[in-house]
Structure 1
Amino acid sequence: MNQVKAETITFDGAVSWVSDHHQHIPMDDLLRLYAYYKVAKGNEAKPNNDKPIVSAFKSNALMQVGHLPKEIAEKKYTELVRQLM
């Protein structure tokens, strides 16, 4: 994506970009995006995954950002996507 588009991307646009490019995003960044998204959407329920290790990593990511207000989580999500573009 070009620089102008990256600078003006909205939260919803960032979510769409991640959905389209998740295969190419490093796992650490995906976990941060997951946690920011969950907080931004107000859905901080405990992760439920068939693989306990995956749930543990998701839970840890949520614990690290769960204190953030929704607006800040949304902003951090969008900023991280800009860096990844």
Structure 2
Amino acid sequence: MNDKELDTAFKKAVDSINAHQKPFPADVLLRLYAYYKRATSDAHPTPSSKPLISAFKTNALFQTKGMTTREAKLKYIEAVNTYFLYRK
């Protein structure tokens, strides 16, 4: 997959998550959060008013440390596809 195809697939995956109306399990959200932050080169935790949530976000980002933008996009797409595949 070339860079343009990857960007298109990533945007489609992000859009499908944003359009989804039902709640996601916390582990899925944290994984998607970390992959998205790495994929968009914004690897700083989004502030939360709840310290525990901030800690989970920081931990999720830590687990993706060293991941390239390309790897993060591929992992995000894979996670989205897997989630929707098993939810049918």
Partner residue, 1:5: none
Which structure would you say has the larger RCO, counting Cα contacts within 8 Å and 6 or more residues apart? 1
Structure 2 letter corresponding to 1:33: L
Partner residue, 1:38: 37
Deviations 1:15-54 (A, max 9, x none): 0111122633211011000000000000011331111111
TM-score normalised by L of structure 1 = 0.83
- Residue-pair matches, total: 77
Cα pair 1:11 1:74 within 8 Å, conserved: yes
SS at match of 1:38: helix
- Tell me how large the CA RMSD over aligned residues is: 1.5
**Tell me, which stretches of 5 or more residues in structure 2 are unaligned?**
1-7
Partner residue, 1:25: 24
**Tell me, which stretches of 5 or more residues in structure 1 are unaligned?**
1-8
Shift of 1:67: 1.3
Partner residue, 2:48: 49
Moved over 3 A (4+): none
Partner residue, 2:68: 69
Cα pair 1:37 1:77 within 8 Å, conserved: yes
Q: Percent identity, aligned pairs only?
A: 40
Partner residue, 1:58: 57
TM-score normalised by L of structure 2 = 0.80
Cα pair 1:40 1:73 within 8 Å, conserved: yes
